[in-house]
Amino acid sequence: MAQTLKQKTIGAIIWNLLDRGGQQVLQMAMVIVVANILCPDDYALVAMLAIFTAVGNLVVESGFGAALIQRHDADDRHYSSVFWFNLVMSSALYLLLLGCSPWIAAYFGEPQLVALSAVVFLSLPLNATMLIQTTLLNKQIRFRHLAKVNLAAMLVSSLAAIVMAFCGCGVWTLAWQPVILAGVKSGLLWTTNRWRPQCYFSMAIIRDLFGFASSLLLSGLLNVVFINVYSLVIPRLYPKRELGLFTQGNKICDPIVSLVYGSIQNATYPIFSNIQNQHDRLINAYRKSIRFTSFLTFPLLIGGVMVAPALFRLLFKSEWWDAIPFFQLLCMGGCFTVLTAINNNFIKVSGRSSGILRIEIIKMALTAVSIALLARESVLAMVAGLMAVRGVVHLINIYYTQRYTGYGMWAQLCDTVPYLLLAMVMAAAVWSVGLVVDKPWLLLPLQIVAGAAVYTLLAYATGSKILKDAIRLLLKKETL
């Protein structure tokens, strides 16, 4: 029997959560082990190259994945043209960045970056080889298959990183891990998928797809610069160690953020694209997804702020404890990041990708102002200012969502703010546990249990439909 839209959406979200959650657990375990062997300066070196890798990967993808999913009549001619275009583009970018590595090293004053660049940037052509394979699995809503590939690749790369760290490879551990991840994932996708590119290429198809993808590419580039601006600014204004601490805080926070918005975004985009011409049905489905996003996001990230001291003192050596305030600020900013990303997903489905570009331009202007005003202050003040920018951008994002989709600002606030209030009450309960317990090994699990219990009870007491749906699913009263 054919699945309903609700069943498809719930199933897709669950498989994406399992995929992302499993990857984040493996990555977190790897980060904890490796961080207790390496030092902040090692992380700072690789972080200096992060913005170049991120920009390169985005240019290679160029929004073609989203364009192919959004396009209902895409066939092998489209897939093959994009595949060959991306392969050539990624190889050219690798050589270009490799040639620029001496100037990158000179900018940061770190000669070692020249050698590191040759390894780190290898992920660009490797990622290009799996773009179409991943796009097809997403478009076909085959998230179970994709989850197995992703988890296997993450397991292999994490084990490799741990072995390299114990063998004394130092910063090279961090350089090789993402390359191994991309290589294994690409290999698994090609051996388990039947699709192969044809000996066909059409520049007309590339231009046609780029008409939709160009705004996504430009907005994506601006977003990548915004996210990675720290790696350009911090080492120029502050000691290199500060970038290492910020990077570590981000490595712990980012899995939570990516788990939520990555899972929901990947699951809902192909499904919502299929009903993009049914406006009322689309709005109703989207409101459910934003409520589900808020239900998960606020307790996870606000809870992360509250348990941060116990978390770091339990899992990391004292050299990393100064990363706690960075982690807390990133968790607070992450709430806005998740909701903004989900709204952008909805704007993309509506075909108004140019609106996302406008938002990104405003965001970059606000970022430049924030950095200029706070550059002479402490690094924490600068990061706090950039987190505040995320909050302002989210309000602007809500306005554009209303303008392009008809999902009003008041309706969205009504869908999200109740879960924020529940999370604030939960935070007070988590904080109170720290008043009576001091030992990190006991405090952390008690805070997690107390937070989960209080939030769940509050959601149940206030009649949360999202919680009721989850309970019915667990009790098998709602099937996938």
Per-residue pLDDT of the chain (480 residues; tens, 9 = 90+): 445 555 556 666 677 777 778 888 898 899 999 999 999 999 999 999 988 998 888 877 777 777 777 677 778 888 899 899 989 999 999 999 999 999 999 999 999 999 999 999 999 999 999 988 988 888 777 778 888 899 999 999 999 999 999 999 999 999 999 999 999 999 999 998 888 999 888 888 888 877 666 666 777 777 788 778 888 888 888 888 899 999 999 888 988 887 777 667 666 666 676 676 777 777 887 888 888 889 989 999 999 999 999 999 999 999 999 999 999 999 999 999 899 888 887 777 776 767 777 888 888 889 889 988 988 889 999 999 989 999 999 999 899 888 888 888 888 989 999 999 999 999 999 999 999 998 999 999 999 999 999 999 999 898 887 877 666 654 544 443
Q: Which amino acid is at 206?
A: I
Q: What is the pTM of this model?
A: 0.80
CA distances in angstroms from 131 to 87, 210, 225, 421, listed in the order given? 10, 16, 22, 40
List Cβ neighbours of 80 (8 Å cut-off, separation of 6 or more).
197, 198, 199, 200, 201
In 3D space, the residue among 50, 319, 42 whose CA is nearest the CA of residue 165 turns out to be 42
| pLDDT attached to residue 470 | 62
Residue 268 confidence (pLDDT):
65
Distances (CA, A) of 55 to 5, 223, 226, 229, 330: 35, 10, 11, 12, 21
Q: What is the pLDDT of residue 8?
A: 59
> Strands, DSSP E only, in 177-277?
none
- Which token pair is 77? 């001619």
Q: What pLDDT was estimated at residue 322?
A: 94
The rounded distance, in Å, linking the Cα atoms of 57 and 129 is 12
- Spatial neighbors of 192 by CB under 8 A, at least 6 apart, are 145, 149
Q: Are 219 and 360 in contact (CB under 8 A)?
A: yes
Tell me how crowded residue 167 is: count the other CB atoms within 10 A of its CB.
10
Angle, CA of 21, 22 and 27, to the nearest 5°: 95
Q: Is the distance from CB of 295 to CB of 466 less than 8 angstroms?
A: yes
* Cα 9-399-369 angle, rounded to 5 deg: 115
Look at residues 181, 204, 218, 208 and name the one whose alpha carbon lies nearest to residue 63. 218
- What is the C-alpha separation between 356 and 25, in angstroms, rounded? 31
Contact in structure between 267 and 480 (CB atoms under 8 Å) = no
Residue type, 194: R
The beta-carbon contacts of 220-226 under 8 Å, at least 24 apart in sequence, are 220/58, 220/63, 220/360, 221/55, 221/58, 221/59, 222/357, 222/360, 222/361, 222/363, 222/364, 223/360, 223/363, 224/51, 224/54, 224/55, 224/58, 225/51, 225/55, 225/364, 226/360, 226/363, 226/364, 226/367
Cβ-based neighbours of 266, under 8 Å, separated by 6 or more: 12, 16, 138, 143
